[in-house]
Every structure is written in C-alpha cells, then in structure tokens.
Homo-oligomer: A and B are copies of this chain.
C-alpha cells in the first residue's frame, strides 16, 4: 500500500484498514509492539510492523490503535525522531512501560471493551503486566494469533528471508552439536524438577546448539527457528527447504532416534508444543525471552521455568577452544581498527572524511579480514557533539565532517566465523582541552580499575561495576548507560545473561564481557572506551577462588588524550603491560601482512608511558596535614 498521497495524513488509510480488521475481531483496541517473535535485538524488515503502520522507525516503542485514536509510547531517546516521523493521525506519549498504556486505554475504550494483541509479540512478563493492570477493569485482553497489521500489510510486506542455513566448519565450533545436546540433557536429568524437554525460542539458542548459522536478521547470523529438545527426540522448527542435503545429513535428519534431528515447519511450533504437552511431560523454558504465544500453549503444571534456559547458561561460559577462537577474532579485528585509525590520521587533516564515509571505510577494512561476515551492529561513527548522543549513527544524508579540532568516537564490531567483536575508541588529532583530557583519563582509569579488579568467584557484575565509575564520580562526572555486556562466538554482540546489571548472572571463569565506561558532555563531545575481556582466575597472595579480567581487545588508547598526572603507578604499570601485550599479539600479524606503516604506528602508540616523578603534590599535602595536626591546628 503506497503512502504519502493523502495530504497531511497519509497514514489514515492504513489505520482505516487496520480498524476494519479490528472490527472483524470485535476489538476496541489493538496493541502493536516493536518487537518480533524471538525478542531479537535487531529485527527483520518483515517484522517491522510498528514502524510500517506508524512511520516511526526507532528501535523501541509500542503503538496502540483504538477505533478513534492511534498512539505511540517511546522513551526520551526517540521523542524528536517520533515527532518528525509520525503524521497527524498519531499522538506521541513520552512514557514507557505498560502502566501508562493501560491508564490511557481505560479512558479511551468503553467498559466491556476487548484489547487484542499478537501473543508472539508479547513476552510473558509484558503480558503479565498488561493482564495485571487490566484486572477488575472490565476490559479483556484477547490473544489473536493472526497478526492484524500483517493482514493490512498484505503483499507489500517484505518476504521472510530464504537464504541457506549452513553448518559452521568444525574449526569454528567449541563442541559438536551432539556434545551440546548431551550436555543439555544431562542438565535436564540433574534438575530438581526433571524436565522431559527444553524449549528454545531465542534464535541464538538454536544457532548455538546445532552450530548452524544464516542471515535472517541484521547483524546476527541467525535463522527463524525453535527447538524442542526432549529426553528422546530433537525437533527443530525451521523452513526445511533452506537446508542443503549436506546439512540435513550433518543433522542426522533422516532418522528418528534420540540423536537425530527431526525438522518440522517453523509454523507448526504452537501445535506441536500443544500436542507434546498432552503427555506426562515437563517443559523447561527461559522465561525472560519466551513469548506468551508459546507460554500459553503449555499447562502451568507442566512448565519448568527459569530466567534463562540451560542453553543460555552453558553458552555464557566459553570452553577453551571457544576462548581461543574469540581471542583470535579480536587480533584480526584490531588490525582492521588500527588500519582505520592510521587512515584517519592521514585523511582527516585533508578535510575529506565524514562520519558516514569513515564508517564505510572501517566496515570495508573489517570485511577484508579473514573469516569476516559483516559488522556485528550498525557502526557508531560520531564526531564532536554527535558523540554525546546515545545510539547515534550517521547516514549518507545526515553526517558531520571529521576534524582535527574535535573528538571522534568509533564504536564498532565485526562478525567473524570464529568470534564476534565490539570495541570503542575515542581520539583527538589536534589539541584537546584540559577538560577533555581529564574526562578521557578518568574514563580510562575507570576502564583500568574494573579490568584489573580481583574479586571472589561468583560475584555479580552489579556489585563491582562502580569501580568503572569511581574516578568520574570523584570529580562529579558520570555516565548514564550500563558498563558492559556479554558477547558471543559468531553470535550476538550483546549476549545475555553476562554483564554488570542487576539482572545479569554472577561472573564465572570463561565468560566474556565488554567493559565500557564513558563520559558525555551534551552539545560538545562524547567519550567511551570499550574493551572485551575474558573472566579468568586471579592469582592472589593468599589462596582462594578469585577472578579477574583479561582484556582481549588490542587497540591502543589515544596518547594525545591521556593526562598522565592523573594516573597512579599501578595504572601506568597496567597500561604499559597492556601495550606490551598489544605489541606481542598484533605486531606480528601486521608484519605478516606487510602492513608496515600500521606496524610503525602501533610501535609509536604503544611506547611505554613515561612514569612521571611521583606525585609530590599529594605527598606534600600529607606532610602539611601531618605538620598542622602535630601543631594542633584544624585542617
């Protein structure tokens, strides 16, 4: 259906058609979430229902349509964008969560009204909060499996991707799928409630379990799927025509034994779960990312619920081969980023680079690395004040020129067959202000203080993330985002459940997490220093079970922005050891590839930072205080 032909309100026709569908179902309101059926971070075009019906393309927001009104709720990051993109049919509500939506619904729809939703687009938690808020209100929540927006969208809806689903080469996998299946079954047997099956509904779960990949959604190498792994069968729900005969044979799909993968159609998952649930079974699900459309099929007494499935928990801890693979991908990724930084140093002074063309160059350099499979998220290439905006990405039309007078922030990563990367560096090619240097150095201290922290095994990230903030807090500075997230082996760049937030699981040896403090000065500049780090055992003076981080991102920080006088001897020692590691890891790779200019640059930028004379000012103040104290004076 074409748009923009109806004067001020081009979306009226779409809404009119949707309201006809709502009438057919006897609905007073219809909820249109911005998500897909797998809670993917990046969703396919054919799943962008909310964007299509509202015009608003932001990554977060929910639309609700009644017979008279149409409204969108989104958070402050997207208010300007939503106001610009939505026409007069749509009202913007600058709120988040289900409570304001339900409050609005209660005033907009009559008593006895029915509120429709697609059960595959509401998580269990979201459904529960709508349900709870509507209880006793004489408004009914109605699950409708046929998506009404899709009916309106019709033939204009982009098709579901259909590229081949392929198996990873053994060189790039930590274990065979058979080993993984056995491991999950063994966890089922050990579980107190002895589930008979695990249902996997996150795409990364199925991709990880079978070592299969595809490219159905942006940035993540996944394919639309579910898996029902029972104690005696393996049922993979996906489009069978997308598997080659080799892949089918790799999956033993021709048999029906407990180690054979039976492939069923993706659309059959609800019916199959319902049928399986008739038996004497207990189905184990991860509640934090399973949709209500699956959940409502399983009788409550047959559910075994945990926040995360055993696949998510196992995947979070990388075995030694997976660790080696992820590290190797980070060495090559560093080559690409260093090539870009060298290229910028030469080209920015010419005035020929903008944020968008720069992003294209770094994406190109990554693409030239071995095993490359594209970027792991949309490159954030932000100059000057743009770097202070959360989630900023330049476009071909809207971007800013890079300049030696401004700071530049690059947050980017790659997908490689052996690993996923994510790194942020902030640079300045001219003369930074004293405040910029101070803020940069405090962010760097935060990164170092958390990276070198020694903490007891099984400590939650939440308990230690303040170490990345202390140096900023000390001066009255802070940042408004989280401090890090897990990352996968050619999987999600933001991989749950590892990280530093209250809903992340405890740290364990073998996990990878980003560490990424920042500082943002509105309208001026933004700083973020992000590395990926492996959780490793720490050797302590007295024996105990302690952990620390081993940074596996190998790109030097910008010496031009470091105020050495703010660093303690311990910080300098850490930094110089890190630089030494970069030389050892990346130097030979640059030489091997004949990237001699880059090698020279690396040597310069990893020169040990000079230990300044000890901070006599601070010692002097101790002496002064001591002397005054001896004299009995108040300080």
Most chain B C-beta atoms within 10 Å of own C-beta, residue among A466, A470, A628: A466
In the complex, besides A573-B625, A609-B626, 20 extra interface pairs with C-beta distance below 8 angstroms are A454-B474, A455-B466, A462-B463, A464-B466, A467-B467, A467-B470, A473-B540, A473-B546, A475-B540, A476-B540, A569-B618, A569-B619, A570-B618, A573-B622, A576-B622, A576-B626, A576-B629, A577-B635, A579-B629, A583-B632
Q: Could you say which residues of chain B place their CB within 8 Å of the CB of A542?
A: 475-477
**A580 contacts B540, CB within 8 Å?**
no
Contact A584 to B463, CB < 8 A, known contacts A573-B622, A618-B570: no
Q: Could you say which residues of chain B place their CB within 8 Å of the CB of A610?
A: 626
**A584 contacts B626, CB within 8 Å?**
no
Q: Could you say which residues of chain B place their CB within 8 Å of the CB of A164?
A: none
Mind listing 15 A-B residue pairs with CB under 8 Å? A456-B473, A463-B463, A463-B465, A478-B544, A569-B615, A569-B618, A573-B621, A573-B622, A577-B635, A606-B629, A607-B629, A608-B630, A611-B622, A611-B623, A611-B626
**A619 contacts B614, CB within 8 Å?**
yes
- What does the 1/0 interface line of A20-52 toward B look like (CB < 8 Å)? 000000000000000000000000000000000
Interface assignment of A515: CB less than 8 Å from any CB of chain B: no
Q: What is the CA–CA distance of A442 and B38 in the complex, to the nearest angstrom?
A: 48
Distance of A83 from chain B, by nearest CB (Å): 28
> Which B-chain residue is minimally distant from A619 (CB atoms)?
B569
> Which B-chain residue is minimally distant from A476 (CB atoms)?
B540
Interface assignment of A7: CB less than 8 Å from any CB of chain B: no
Q: What is the CA–CA distance of A579 and B622 in the complex, to the nearest angstrom?
A: 13
Q: Could you say which residues of chain B place their CB within 8 Å of the CB of A594?
A: none
**B608 contacts A626, CB within 8 Å?**
yes
Contact A453 to B470, CB < 8 A, known contacts A583-B632, A608-B626, A618-B570: yes
Interface assignment of A346: CB less than 8 Å from any CB of chain B: no
Chain A interfacial positions (CB closer than 8 Å to B): 453-456, 459, 462-467, 470, 473-478, 540-544, 546, 568-570, 572-573, 576-577, 579-580, 583-584, 606-611, 614-616, 618-619, 621-623, 625-630, 632, 634-635
User: Which 3 A-B residue pairings sit nearest by Cβ, starting from the closest?
Assistant: A476-B540, A608-B626, A476-B542
Q: What is the CA–CA distance of A10 and B411 in the complex, to the nearest angstrom?
A: 74
Q: What is the CA–CA distance of A529 and B619 in the complex, to the nearest angstrom?
A: 26
Q: Could you say which residues of chain B place their CB within 8 Å of the CB of A543?
A: 476
User: Which residue of the partner chain, among B478, B544, B615, contacts A476 with CB atoms under 8 Å?
Assistant: B544
Q: What is the CA–CA distance of A635 and B618 in the complex, to the nearest angstrom?
A: 29
Contact A476 to B546, CB < 8 A, known contacts A463-B463, A466-B464, A619-B611: yes
Distance of A250 from chain B, by nearest CB (Å): 42
Q: Could you say which residues of chain B place their CB within 8 Å of the CB of A579?
A: 629
Q: What is the CA–CA distance of A195 and B635 in the complex, to the nearest angstrom?
A: 50
Q: Could you say which residues of chain B place their CB within 8 Å of the CB of A478?
A: 456, 544
Q: What is the CA–CA distance of A261 and B624 in the complex, to the nearest angstrom?
A: 58
Q: What is the CA–CA distance of A62 and B632 in the complex, to the nearest angstrom?
A: 56
Q: What is the CA–CA distance of A459 and B614 in the complex, to the nearest angstrom?
A: 33
**B466 contacts A584, CB within 8 Å?**
no
Distance of A197 from chain B, by nearest CB (Å): 22
Q: Could you say which residues of chain B place their CB within 8 Å of the CB of A611?
A: 619, 622-623, 626
Q: Could you say which residues of chain B place their CB within 8 Å of the CB of A609?
A: 626
Q: Could you say which residues of chain B place their CB within 8 Å of the CB of A476?
A: 454, 540-544, 546
**B467 contacts A455, CB within 8 Å?**
no
Distance of A122 from chain B, by nearest CB (Å): 25
> Which B-chain residue is minimally distant from A576 (CB atoms)?
B625
Q: What is the CA–CA distance of A314 and B569 in the complex, to the nearest angstrom?
A: 45
Distance of A617 from chain B, by nearest CB (Å): 9
**A544 contacts B584, CB within 8 Å?**
no
Q: What is the CA–CA distance of A478 and B618 in the complex, to the nearest angstrom?
A: 29
> Which B-chain residue is minimally distant from A568 (CB atoms)?
B568
**B629 contacts A477, CB within 8 Å?**
no
> Which B-chain residue is minimally distant from A546 (CB atoms)?
B476
Q: Could you say which residues of chain B place their CB within 8 Å of the CB of A622?
A: 569, 572-573, 576, 611
Q: What is the CA–CA distance of A228 and B120 in the complex, to the nearest angstrom?
A: 47
**B634 contacts A584, CB within 8 Å?**
yes
Distance of A528 from chain B, by nearest CB (Å): 18
Contact A544 to B477, CB < 8 A, known contacts A453-B470, A576-B625, A630-B607: yes
Distance of A571 from chain B, by nearest CB (Å): 9
Q: Could you say which residues of chain B place their CB within 8 Å of the CB of A568?
A: 568
Most chain B C-beta atoms within 10 Å of own C-beta, residue among A540, A606, A627: A540
**B466 contacts A625, CB within 8 Å?**
no
Most chain B C-beta atoms within 10 Å of own C-beta, residue among A465, A580, A630: A580
Q: What is the CA–CA distance of A510 and B623 in the complex, to the nearest angstrom?
A: 32
Q: What is the CA–CA distance of A463 and B469 in the complex, to the nearest angstrom?
A: 11
Q: What is the CA–CA distance of A573 and B619 in the complex, to the nearest angstrom?
A: 9
Distance of A136 from chain B, by nearest CB (Å): 8
Q: What is the CA–CA distance of A580 and B632 in the complex, to the nearest angstrom?
A: 8
Most chain B C-beta atoms within 10 Å of own C-beta, residue among A453, A454, A473: A473
Distance of A55 from chain B, by nearest CB (Å): 34
Q: Could you say which residues of chain B place their CB within 8 Å of the CB of A628?
A: 580
Q: Could you say which residues of chain B place their CB within 8 Å of the CB of A615?
A: 569
Q: Could you say which residues of chain B place their CB within 8 Å of the CB of A467?
A: 466-467, 470
Q: What is the CA–CA distance of A456 and B476 in the complex, to the nearest angstrom?
A: 8
